[in-house]
Amino acid sequence: MATKLVYVLNGPNLNRLGKREPEIYGSQTLDDIAAMLVARGQALGCGIEMRQSNHEGHLVDWLHEAQDEGAHAVLLNAGAYTHTSVALLDAIRAITVPVIEVHLSNPHTREDFRHRSWVGMAAKGTVAGFGANSYLMALEAAAGL
């Protein structure tokens, strides 16, 4: 079986997972999540390209790169940019690779400003509220596309 390349892009403050508000985001680090994804990806025939940046433009560039590299799908946890970035909305609309929005917490149970998702307006689907398992659920969905 050919390996399906899945980009996993993470936005601002996700490098602080495990330290930042563990009551909301859990105690697992981004490295822990990456290890889970690589292991599950192998079973699903997916190669994982895991990245994180606190800079919006990097996420835009990586979405374009996913298209150019022939990625099968993108899992995107844009962090706070979810609720503010028209640039990410436009970048997702500018590519044909399916993007699955991922959140550790459920934004709809949090502050009102988190209820609007610019990313979600262009994403194929959203997985939210299941902690680190949100990533695994999104990878399962991506593998099935």
Q: Catalytic residue positions?
A: 25, 103
Asked whether the beta carbons of 75 and 109 are under 8 A apart, the reply is no
- Residues whose CB falls within 8 Å of the CB of residue 40, separated by 6 or more in sequence, listed in order: 136, 139, 140
Asked whether the beta carbons of 47 and 6 are under 8 A apart, the reply is yes
- Residues whose CB falls within 8 Å of the CB of residue 27, separated by 6 or more in sequence, listed in order: 18
Asked whether the beta carbons of 124 and 98 are under 8 A apart, the reply is yes
Measure CA 88 to chain center.
12
